[in-house]
Structure 1
Amino acid sequence: MYGRERRQRQDPDTATLRAGLTPAQLHALATLEQFGWTLRFVRRPLFRDPVPVVFQRDGRRFVVLEADGTLNEAPDLVIRD
């Protein structure tokens, strides 16, 4: 039983992921998607703005979309495999 992966890999609902993002974030996301980037998940910390995390096509590089639509290329996130 130990060692078995319990998390289920599902494709997230894009409308659910985009809910709560600012217009600037949505605009920047649309531009990034034209270049092959995908919104993989959104962290929603309590009492803080959502933190959308966008991955490059190969999945090795990621950025965070700030509330004003700018990219944070050096976020302080730890991504687990």
Structure 2
Amino acid sequence: MNHVATPLVVSVFVDRPILAVIYLITIAVSLWLFRDALRRGKSVIVAAGWALGGIVLPAIVHFAYLYLRLKTEGSMTEPPLDDSD
């Protein structure tokens, strides 16, 4: 058997490319979550926390963010309300 020494992460992605696709989707959703939190007036620290949490525990954090967003905003499609009026 001829084994080439490759880093573990590269080896996993080469052997199972679906994992790379899932990871890229997770990163894309976390990036959207970061941008959406900023757009809705959250601080950079809070938005980064949501995004980092979305990378570490995506199934929990992504749905928690969407649930809390729906609960506080009332709509998933409308832009955030501007309180300056």
Coarse TM-score class (shorter-chain normalised): under 0.3
Larger strand share, 1 or 2: 1
Larger helix share, 1 or 2: 2
With normalisation by structure 1, the TM-score equals: 0.26
With normalisation by structure 2, the TM-score equals: 0.26
Larger Rg: 2
Per chain length, whose mean CA-contact separation is higher, i.e. which structure has more relative contact order (CA < 8 Å, sep 6+)?
Answer: 1
